[in-house]
């Protein structure tokens, strides 16, 4: 429990809040030190060994760690932010800033989305990327072909609009449709546009399994030829036969950095991934052209047999982890009762033996019914540890904002940041506390261009997390994901306390954050007049 000290009412109050007796981990990776932190408005006003000046409020943190609020560089927060604008699952683990629009998917255009966010009273800050897949879909649809010159020009224009609206860069999901159908040169052309506005490129690569090395090479090439920083997002190695390849993927990153390519990584600390059953287990060529064409292919016996053959391979050697029990349904709008069931159990529910072959049939049936979200246990712990130790790796959850108790989401939405502190700092000693905080604060802030957040320093925004490093614990599990993190006593966003003593407060100080290329909006009519 935090001890509160009333301040003398008759004295002037130069500070709004003072955190006393803190173990300061400032976000830079430097060793922690003891001190007090004072805020004024939304800004850190002073850091000193002791602050004696009066304040509107003083909190004695009694030796707990005070760090910058965590910045999650990869979230799907628009799934839930308007339903749960407090984002309890993130704030309760010290996250104060959420980045949206990863994996090539974002609203297009972005401006209306930002306007809606501006009007929302929310606890955390939020920003967004512009999604390459969404841009391509808006211009040429879900088809597998190269764009015409005019279509490519239109895509460039949409990326430029996104950057001017305030995107932090271009994201791609080359694993997904329609990103899967995009030639590398096309992505490079769009990356060049984002780079001109100071943005970065962040990619869910084409292949995180057998072709993971070529995918890392492609991600590096897009940054190198596009002239902008490039990032392998939620880096993992999928499929037991591929485990160990992180030795080579990290070597590729190191070699690129040595020759001047600004290449980095983000990662979540779990050995299971999560995406839709359709995206993971149905080959991309079968999804080309949209849902109706996919359904037609599934109805044609010879084509269905080819789809099944590929799905069997994926279940056996890649996302399925070799066993239908390794695939778990996360959510299913058309049948919520499936949430939490394995693909083996779905097959059995349909009167089939839980074989890999029948699991492929179950996956095709799910796609036909409308699709479900899934969790896929197919990542090796050794690769995870090797990646998290790498100096170019930062932390990102790839999570969302669940409605508490609904469906069976991946626990990363509730536990990513505290799991790093619990398992990989305290239990496994894989990284130090100071480096973990750096990977969650200054590193992502630097990566996306947030110059006023991510470090504890006077003049920076007062986004702060207070926690006990000996008591933090990720309680969310795959079996019971709807459980909040433990060990955080106070979280502050823009100078206001949003979480304290086990409860969210009424404060909603979160802001929409904009990328470095944002420019005042100009109507299309005015643009035409200028031309």
Q: What is the pLDDT of residues 75-130, one digit of tens each?
A: 999 999 999 999 999 999 999 999 999 999 999 999 999 999 999 999 999 999 99
State how far Cα 38 lies from the chain centre: 30
What average pLDDT does this structure show over 428-452? 98
Tell me the CA distances in angstroms from 303 to 175, 277, 286, 366, 439, one per residue in order.
Answer: 21, 19, 9, 17, 46
What average pLDDT does this structure show over 308-329? 96
> What's residue 426's pLDDT?
98
Q: Which two tokens stand for residue 193?
A: 């546009």
> What's residue 523's pLDDT?
39
Taking each helix axis as running N to C, give the angle between helix 184-196 and helix 212-226, from 0 to 180 degrees, rounded to the nearest 10: 40
Least confident of 252-256, 273-277, 331-335, 518-522: 518-522
Element (H, E) at 395: strand 393-395
Beta strands in 140-208 (DSSP E): 169-173, 200-204
The neighbouring-strand residues paired with 131 are 171
Nearest Cα residue to 234 out of 251, 255, 256, 249: 249
Could you say which DSSP state residue 409 is in? -
Task: Give the fold, CATH level 3, of 68-271+379-504.
Answer: TIM Barrel (3.20.20)
Nearest Cα residue to 137 out of 112, 157, 108: 108
230 pLDDT higher than 50? yes
Q: What is the mean pLDDT of the chain?
A: 95
Strands 488-493 and 496-500: antiparallel
CB 237 within 8 A of CB 318: no
Strands 70-72 and 33-40: unpaired
Nearest Cα residue to 452 out of 373, 516, 409, 505: 516
Dist. CA 211–CA 285, nearest whole Å: 17
Dist. CA 358–CA 312, nearest whole Å: 9
Q: Phi, psi (5° rounding) for residue 129?
A: -95, 165
What average pLDDT does this structure show over 57-63? 98
Dist. CA 388–CA 44, nearest whole Å: 30
> What's residue 531's pLDDT?
41
Rama region for 237: left / alpha / beta (φ>0; ψ in -120 to 50; rest): beta
Which three-class secondary structure state does DSSP give residue 105?
coil
Half-sphere exposure of 299 (CA within 13 A, CB side): 8
Q: What is the pLDDT of residues 492-517, one digit of tens each?
A: 999 999 999 999 999 999 999 999 99
Q: What is the pLDDT of residues 19-54, one digit of tens each?
A: 999 999 999 999 999 999 999 999 999 999 999 999
> What's residue 524's pLDDT?
46
352 pLDDT higher than 60? yes
Domain ranges of the chain: 68-271+379-504, 275-374
CB 25 within 8 A of CB 434: yes
Give Cβ neighbours of residue 12 (< 8 Å, ≥ 6 apart): 54
Give Cβ neighbours of residue 231 (< 8 Å, ≥ 6 apart): 200, 201, 202, 203, 219, 263, 264, 265, 266, 447
61 pLDDT higher than 80? yes
């Amino acid at each position: 429990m935090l001890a509160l000290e009333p301040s003398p009412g008759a004295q002037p109050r130069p500070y709004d809040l003072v955190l006393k007796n803190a173990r300061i981990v400032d976000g830079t990776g430097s060793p922690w030190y003891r001190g007090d932190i004072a805020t004024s408005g939304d800004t850190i006003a002073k850091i000193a060994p002791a602050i004696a000046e009066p304040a509107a409020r003083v909190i004695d943190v009694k030796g707990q760690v005070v760090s910058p609020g965590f910045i999650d560089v990869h979230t799907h927060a628009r799934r839930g932010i308007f339903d749960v604008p407090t984002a309890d699952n993130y704030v309760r683990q010290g996250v104060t800033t959420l980045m949206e629009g990863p994996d090539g998917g974002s609203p297009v255009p972005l401006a209306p989305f930002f306007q809606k966010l501006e009007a929302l009273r929310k606890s955390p800050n939020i920003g967004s990327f512009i999604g390459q897949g969404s841009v391509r879909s808006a211009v040429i649809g879900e088809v597998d072909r190269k764009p015409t010159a005019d279509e490519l020009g239109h895509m460039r224009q949409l990326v430029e609009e996104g950057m001017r609206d305030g995107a932090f860069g271009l994201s791609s999901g080359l694993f997904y449709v329609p990103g899967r159908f995009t030639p590398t040169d096309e992505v490079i052309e769009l990356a060049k546009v984002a780079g001109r506005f100071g943005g970065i490129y962040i990619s869910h690569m084409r292949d995180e399994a057998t072709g993971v090395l070529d995918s890392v090479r492609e991600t590096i090439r897009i940054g190198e030829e596009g002239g902008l920083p490039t990032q392998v997002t939620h880096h993992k190695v999928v499929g037991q036969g591929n485990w160990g390849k992180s030795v080579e993927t990290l070597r590729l990153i190191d070699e690129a950095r040595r020759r001047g390519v600004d290449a980095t990584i983000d990662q979540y600390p779990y050995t299971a991934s999560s995406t839709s059953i359709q995206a993971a287990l149905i080959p991309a060529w079968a999804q080309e052209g949209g849902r109706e064409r996919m359904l037609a292919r599934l109805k044609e016996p010879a084509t269905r047999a080819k789809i099944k053959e590929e799905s069997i391979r994926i279940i056996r050697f890649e996302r399925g982890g070799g066993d239908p029990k390794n695939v778990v349904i996360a959510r299913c709008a058309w049948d919520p009762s499936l949430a939490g069931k394995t693909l083996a159990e779905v097959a059995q529910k349909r009167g089939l033996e839980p074989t890999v072959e029948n699991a492929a049939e179950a996956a095709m049936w799910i796609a036909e019914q409308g699709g479900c979200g899934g969790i896929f246990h197919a990542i090796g712990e050794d690769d995870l540890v090797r990646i998290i130790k790498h100096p170019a790796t930062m932390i990102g959850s790839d999570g969302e904002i669940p409605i508490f108790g609904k469906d069976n989401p991946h626990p990363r939405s509730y536990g990513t940041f505290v799991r790093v502190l619990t398992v990989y700092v305290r239990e496994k000693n894989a990284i130090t506390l100071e480096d973990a905080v750096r990977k969650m604060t200054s590193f992502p802030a630097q990566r996306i261009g947030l110059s006023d957040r991510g470090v504890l320093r006077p003049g920076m925004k007062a986004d702060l997390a207070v926690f006990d490093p000996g008591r933090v614990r990720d309680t969310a599990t795959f079996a019971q994901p709807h459980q909040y993190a433990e060990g955080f006593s106070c979280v502050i966003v823009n100078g206001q306390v949003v979480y304290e003593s086990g409860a969210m407060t009424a404060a909603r100080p979160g802001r929409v954050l904009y990328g470095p290329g944002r420019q005042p909006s100009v109507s299309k009519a005015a643009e035409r007049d200028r031309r």
